């Protein structure tokens, strides 16, 4: 897609610190990392959301994310990592070309996901479970 920064990287029109690429997928370092070694992994085909991926694209992309996570953790000496994938502005997606973030983590690295833990009102958990199950 013409105005997509990741498509421009894939087309070789702008530079990136590429880690690996095949005909279907690519991984390069995030230009503004959460931690050094923070990598992005994505299919080359331009789609915005995880929901737009074919089963094969999802398989190949997530498998590459696993390989990249292993290499990034080894290279940075990190004992842990997050894999994050944002879909839509409300979820924090800034670039509308689906991508996995592979973020190496270490104790006290100062990154806080801000993961809150709410509680359900009486009956709400069961009602939601039933509604979601109907749609699967």
Q: Which residues belong to the active site?
A: 99
- Least separation in angstroms between residue 29's CB and ligand AMP is 7
Q: In what order do the strands lie in the sheet with 80-84?
A: 18-21, 25-29, 39-43, 100-105, 80-84
How far apart are the C-alpha atoms of 48 and 129, rounded to whole Å? 28
Record the tokens describing residue 135, joined without a space.
């749609």
87 in contact with ligand AMP (CB under 6 A): no
Q: Residue from 49, 76, 82, 86 that binds ligand AMP (CB under 6 A)?
A: 86
Q: Residue from 7, 27, 30, 64 that binds ligand AMP (CB under 6 A)?
A: 30
Four-point Cα dihedral 95, 96, 102, 108, nearest 10: 50
Q: Residue from 7, 10, 16, 103 that binds ligand AMP (CB under 6 A)?
A: 16
How far apart are the C-alpha atoms of 39 and 33, rounded to whole Å? 8
90 in contact with ligand AMP (CB under 6 A): no
Q: Residue from 92, 107, 110, 123 that binds ligand AMP (CB under 6 A)?
A: 92
Binders of ligand AMP among 49-78, rule CB under 6 A? none
48 in contact with ligand AMP (CB under 6 A): no
Residue 77 or 92 with smaller CB distance to ligand AMP:
92
- The contact set with ligand AMP (CB under 6 A) reads 5, 16, 30-32, 86, 92-95
């Amino acid at each position: 897609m013409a105005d997509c920064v990741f498509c421009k990287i894939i087309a070789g029109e702008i530079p990136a610190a590429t880690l690996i690429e095949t005909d279907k997928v690519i991984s390069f370092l995030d230009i503004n990392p959460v931690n050094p070694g923070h990598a992005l992994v994505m299919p080359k085909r331009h789609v915005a959301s995880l929901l737009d991926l074919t089963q094969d694209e999802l398989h190949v992309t997530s498998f590459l994310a696993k390989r990249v996570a292993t290499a990034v953790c080894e290279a940075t000496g990190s004992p842990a990592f997050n894999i994050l994938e944002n879909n839509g502005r409300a979820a924090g997606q800034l670039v509308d070309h689906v991508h996995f973030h592979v973020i190496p983590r270490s104790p006290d690295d100062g990154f806080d996901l801000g993961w809150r833990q709410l509680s359900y009102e009486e009956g709400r958990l069961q009602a939601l479970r039933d509604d979601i199950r109907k749609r699967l």
